[in-house]
Chains A and B, each alone.
Chain A
Amino acid sequence: MEPPKIWRERREKYLALGVLCHDCKKKNFPITQRCPDCTSGNIEEVKLAQTGKILYFTRVSQTAKEMMFYAPYIVALIELDDRIRVTGQITDTKFEDLTEGMKVRMVFRTLSKNGEEGLIGYGFKFVHI
């Protein structure tokens, strides 16, 4: 991952910001220049809900080298309390202990490591509450 990309995505990945449209009142994630529902440009950045529930989850054991240090890990489709859906990892929880509909909370964690000297990618994951 290159520095300009990490810098550009800092507000979404580090702060979990989406957009709220003042015209159609819909909230969306990630940040876009126009509302993906009504294409209005009258939008502002808003924080996503910090808790939600698991809709689907499964294990990943094979992926890009930068993300292999936690593998096998759990990846889930989460519906946040504000109805926004995101893809994210479930951490600090055993696969066997997870169930569909389980409540989760957003946490800030390491997502990728590019070798010993490369950049570290950060972002949000989820833990069971």
Chain B
Amino acid sequence: MSKREVYVIGYGITKFGEHYELNPSSSASQALSKAIQDAKISKDLIQSLYFGSLVSNRNGQSYIGAEVSRECNLNIPITKIDVGNASGAGAFHQAFIAIKSGLLDCIAILGTEKLSDFVNSSTLEKILGGTIDYQWEFEQGATLTSLYAWMTQAHMKEFNTTMEQLASVPVKNHKNGVNNPIAQFRREISLKRFLDAKRISDPIGRFDPATHCDGSAAVVIASKEFVESHTEIERKVKVVGSAQSSDKIALHHRETLSSLLATQVTSKKAYEMAQISSKDISIAEVHDSYPIGEILAIEDLGFFQKGDGGSATIEGKTQINSDISVNTSGGLKARGDPFGATGIAQIIEIVQQMRREADQRQVDDIKYGLTQNVMGTGASVLVNIFSNLEEDK
């Protein structure tokens, strides 16, 4: 494998939530401009832009890259990468490969989504239907939420995971989100409120899913050679692993519903690339679009034994500055989930933590940080690993 070293040199992010006043390209351009400013380099040094979005093409303009290029006055290649609702991390992975390959030295990656434009809930349901097997799950009557309900049932049945353990995931993430200025929901929600909420797809309650919102996030990455020859760059975070793999899209085609095979395979590849193990990870941003998502993640990434994710969470082992700090940003649950922007927002949280810019949610003594972005119910998973070791700074 190429020995070329890759660094994140800047980031920019908009507040996540409902931004009726912004059109998609303006939201995207805001995040991109901030990221370039943060990197302290001239925008003319950026050689290519990779962007990830699930539905930017359904707001009318089929290729919003063209609008972003005008608004930011860039004449570089702009390419959309499609990994469904994990397109943000997908774009990052492809940009990482492009720098590793040696062809490019400095790339901007942009994740964006403008979901408040879809006021008709049927439209958004169909969009979500596209992240599962549209023909043989969605058209048969299943929805993303109902499939996560089955995955939750499977975990409860096999490992005696309780409703209290499940609800402790969003309780923790809302607590973390209070201190994240870009989070959509900066307030705590009690365990009782999660448990008492109406069930929408048993055992999933009304407050369990992450909300689908507007937001854009961007990072600039560069090769070590580029960083060394541009002394204006002040801060950098090293990317030591980046991987992706797939699984069968339909749950009815999978061997098990209580693990995400794609998370297991992808994280193994990423750990190998980084030459570390799951024990070396201090902070992780994982895909908690439903409570079971985070429990599956912390098990399949190897942080806890299979089946122990629920008890580990309720015992506080994933809180800030505990065994492993999981979703310090508030996760998808409190930060909000603008699909394509989520994968990049996860990376930004790790970068902020490593640059010690996370204020009240700051984790002490970070060695390595990890992000896990999931497409649909796990048809594709991306994992990125970042180093905070002195020799990598």
Q: Which residues of A are interface residues toward B (Cβ below 8 A)?
A: 1, 9, 30, 56, 58-65, 67-68, 73, 75, 77, 85-89, 111-112, 121, 123, 125
Partner of B129, one of A64, A111, A123: A64
- Which stretch from B2-10, B39-47, B135-143, B320-328 is at the chain A interface? B135-143
**Is there an interface contact between B149 and A87, defined as CB atoms closer than 8 Å?**
no
Partner of B201, one of A59, A68, A86: A59
Q: Could you say which residues of chain A place their CB within 8 Å of the CB of B142?
A: 60, 75, 87
Interface centre among A1, A58, A88, A125, by most B CB within 10 Å?
A58
Q: How far is the CB of A72 from chain B (nearest CB, A)?
A: 9
Q: Could you say which residues of chain A place their CB within 8 Å of the CB of B154?
A: 56
Q: How far is the CA of A67 from the CA of B125 in the complex (A)?
A: 11
Q: How far is the CA of A1 from the CA of B126 in the complex (A)?
A: 12
Interface centre among A77, A86, A89, A123, by most B CB within 10 Å?
A77
Per the 8 Å Cβ criterion, residues 230-284 of B in contact with A are 250-253, 257
**Is there an interface contact between A60 and B146, defined as CB atoms closer than 8 Å?**
yes
**Main secondary structure on chain B at its contact with chain A?**
helix
Q: Could you say which residues of chain B place their CB within 8 Å of the CB of A75?
A: 140-143, 146
Contact of A87 with B122 at beta-carbon distance under 8 Å, contacts A56-B150, A58-B146, A58-B201 already known: no
Q: Could you say which residues of chain B place their CB within 8 Å of the CB of A89?
A: 140-141
**Is there an interface contact between A58 and B139, defined as CB atoms closer than 8 Å?**
no
**Is there an interface contact between B251 and A60, defined as CB atoms closer than 8 Å?**
no
30 inter-chain pairs at a CB distance below 8 angstroms, sorted by A residue, are A30-B135, A30-B136, A56-B153, A56-B257, A58-B146, A58-B150, A58-B153, A58-B202, A59-B146, A59-B199, A59-B200, A62-B145, A63-B129, A64-B129, A68-B122, A73-B141, A75-B140, A75-B141, A75-B142, A75-B146, A77-B251, A86-B140, A87-B133, A87-B250, A87-B251, A88-B141, A111-B140, A112-B139, A123-B140, A125-B141
Contact of A62 with B257 at beta-carbon distance under 8 Å, contacts A56-B150, A87-B137, A123-B140 already known: no
Query: Is B121 close to A, CB under 8 A?
Result: yes
> What is the chain A residue whose CB lies nearest that of B140?
A87
Chain B interface size, under 10 / 10 to 19 / 20 to 34 / 35 or more: 20 to 34
A-B contact count (CB 8 A): 85
Partner of A62, one of B125, B137, B251: B125
**Main secondary structure on chain A at its contact with chain B?**
strand
**Is there an interface contact between A87 and B141, defined as CB atoms closer than 8 Å?**
yes
**Is there an interface contact between A85 and B253, defined as CB atoms closer than 8 Å?**
yes
Q: Could you say which residues of chain A place their CB within 8 Å of the CB of B257?
A: 56
Partner of A86, one of B126, B150, B252: B252
> What is the chain A residue whose CB lies nearest that of B150?
A56
Q: How far is the CB of A3 from chain B (nearest CB, A)?
A: 15
**Is there an interface contact between B143 and A60, defined as CB atoms closer than 8 Å?**
yes
Per the 8 Å Cβ criterion, residues 109-164 of B in contact with A are 120-122, 125-126, 129, 133, 135-143, 145-146, 149-150, 153-154
> What is the chain B residue whose CB lies nearest that of A86?
B252
Q: Could you say which residues of chain A place their CB within 8 Å of the CB of B199?
A: 59
Q: How far is the CA of A59 from the CA of B121 in the complex (A)?
A: 18
Closest 7 pairs between A and B when the two form their complex, measured CB to CB? A65-B122, A56-B150, A85-B252, A58-B149, A89-B141, A75-B141, A58-B201
